[in-house]
Chains A and B, each alone.
Chain A
Amino acid sequence: GAVVSQHPSRVICKSGTSVKIECRSLDFQATTMFWYRQFPKQSLMLMATSNEGSKATYEQGVEKDKFLINHASLTLSTLTVTSAHPEDSSFYICSAGEQGGWEQYFGPGTRLTVT
C-alpha cells in the first residue's frame, strides 16, 4: 500500500522558536495533503488541507500565520509552527490522497513538545 512518512517523529523546541515538520508520500503523487492535530486522549482535528501548488485551506480557528503550510511538490508538504508556545505541544499527523481517490494515507505522526 501507499506509504506516507513524517519527519521528525519527535521534536522538542524552546518557546518562541519555529519548527518544521515534513510529510512525504513515498510511492505515489499526493495531490492533496491534510494536517491534523491530536491532543492526548482526544480525536484528530483537521487543521488544514493543502493542494499541490496552491495555498492551504485552514479550518476555522486555526491561525494560518502561526501554522504555515507549504505543498510545493506532489510528494512533499511541510507544516511550520512559528513562534511556538507550550500550548502548541501536541501530536501532529499528516495524511495524503491521490487525485480521484478516496483513501487518505496517514503518516506516523510527529510529537511536538514546546518547553
Chain B
Amino acid sequence: AQTVTQSQPEMSVQEAETVTLSCTYDTSENNYYLFWYKQPPSRQMILVIRQEAYKQQNATENRFSVNFQKAAKSFSLKISDSQLGDTAMYFCAFMKYNNNDMRFGAGTRLTVKP
C-alpha cells in the first residue's frame, strides 16, 4: 500500500517570501504521479502541480515548483513570492500510473501573513 506523509501540520510565511512544504511517500511502484493540491476555505480542491515519476526534471508552474527526489521518495513544494491568496490547506497526493486511485497526505495548513 502507498502512504503519503506530510510532517508539517502548520506553517506560516510572510507575504512575498518563499516557503517549502515537505512530503514523503512510500511505494514499491516505479511509475506513478505525484501531486500537490490546494484546498482553500471554500473546500474546493485545486490542482497546484503534478510530477510524473519517470521525468527527472522538476515540475514548475509559475510561482510553484517541486523538488522531486525519487530515490529518497521525497516531493517538496516550493512557493515563491507568497501571496495572501496562497493561504490554504495543501495536500500532497500519490497516484499509481494507469490507476486513478489517489492517496492523500494529512495536509499542511499554510498561512501567509501580510
Which residues of A are in contact with B by a Cβ distance under 8 Å?
32, 34, 38, 42-46, 49, 91, 93, 95, 97, 102-104, 106, 108-109
Contact = CB atoms under 8 A, between A and B. Distances in A.
A38 B47 CA distance: 17
B44 A103 contact: no
Among B33, B42, B50, B102, chain A packs the most CB atoms within 10 A around the CB of B102
A93 B45 contact: yes
Given A34-B100, A42-B106, A102-B33, A91 B43 contact: yes
Contacts, number: 40
Interface string B50-68: 1000000000000000000
Q: At the interface, is chain A mostly helix, strand, loop or mixed?
A: strand
B105 A43 contact: yes
Given A108-B43, A109-B43, A43 B91 contact: yes
B6 to A, nearest CB: 9
